[in-house]
């Protein structure tokens, strides 16, 4: 990697873009753009203040929001940085007892970045963390101030629904 690519890489990692939020009580929807591409964050409360955090890309060619992530040559770290900021927005505005999110593709880089994000969130907001690999997907669970048995029952239900949506 040449120095220009490294500089672009580092700067985009620390340069989230502005997210426009719509708050519908038990659902937060955030929209943002990077390099003229539209992305959506959807956060949904699934009872007991356990929130599912999903990220989607708007595929113009199919005119649909898709969980399939594409690896564009530029801006990908700005996207990931913005996803991290979006999670902090969820925490600061909804005070969740649990957050479930995942790297739902085979990207090892994305899994490592999400591990780092979950570590930052865990330490900064005093959450506990669990993670589980399911096929080539990795699910992350951050939780606090909740009965673990209740959490695990709800998590299983949510994961079954999320996995089947893909």
59-117: pLDDT as tens digits: 888 888 876 665 555 567 788 889 889 999 999 999 999 999 988 777 787 788 889 88
Q: Of 119, 126, 128, 120, whose CA–CA distance to 155 is shortest? A: 128
What is the reported pTM?
0.84
CB atoms closer than 10 angstroms to residue 64: 10
Question: Domain holding 43: CATH number?
Answer: 3.40.630
Residue pLDDT, tens place only, 105-141: 777 877 888 898 899 999 999 999 999 887 788 889 9
**DSSP assignment letter at 157:** H
Domain that holds residue 100: 3-165
User: For residues 155 and 76, which has the higher predicted lDDT (pLDDT)?
Assistant: 155
Count structural domains, the chain: 1
CB atoms closer than 10 angstroms to residue 78: 19
Residue 13, Cβ density class (10 Å: 0-12 exposed, 13-18 middle, ≥19 buried): middle
Q: Which positions ≥6 away from 118 have C-beta within 8 Å? A: 129, 131, 140, 142
Residue 163 is predicted with a pLDDT of 59
CA distance 95 to 117: 17
- What b/e readout covers 120-134, taking b as 16+ CB neighbours within 10 angstroms? ebbeebebeebeeee
CA distance 141 to 127: 9
């Amino acid at each position: 990697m040449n120095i220009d690519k490294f500089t672009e890489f580092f700067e985009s990692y620390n340069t989230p873009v502005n997210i426009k939020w719509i708050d519908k009580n038990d659902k937060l929807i955030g929209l943002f753009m990077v390099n003229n591409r539209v992305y959506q964050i959807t956060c949904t409360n699934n009872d007991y203040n356990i929130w599912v955090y999903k990220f989607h890309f708007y595929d113009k060619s199919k005119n649909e929001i898709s969980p399939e992530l594409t690896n564009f040559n530029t801006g990908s770290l700005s996207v990931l940085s913005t996803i991290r900021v979006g999670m902090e927005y969820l925490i600061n505005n909804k005070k969740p007892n649990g957050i479930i999110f995942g790297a739902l593709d085979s990207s090892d880089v994305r899994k490592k970045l999400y591990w780092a994000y979950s570590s930052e969130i865990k330490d900064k907001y005093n959450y506990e963390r669990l993670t589980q690999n399911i096929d080539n997907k990795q699910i992350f669970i951050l939780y606090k101030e909740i009965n673990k048995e209740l959490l695990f029952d709800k998590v299983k239900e949510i994961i079954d629904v999320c996995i089947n949506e893909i």
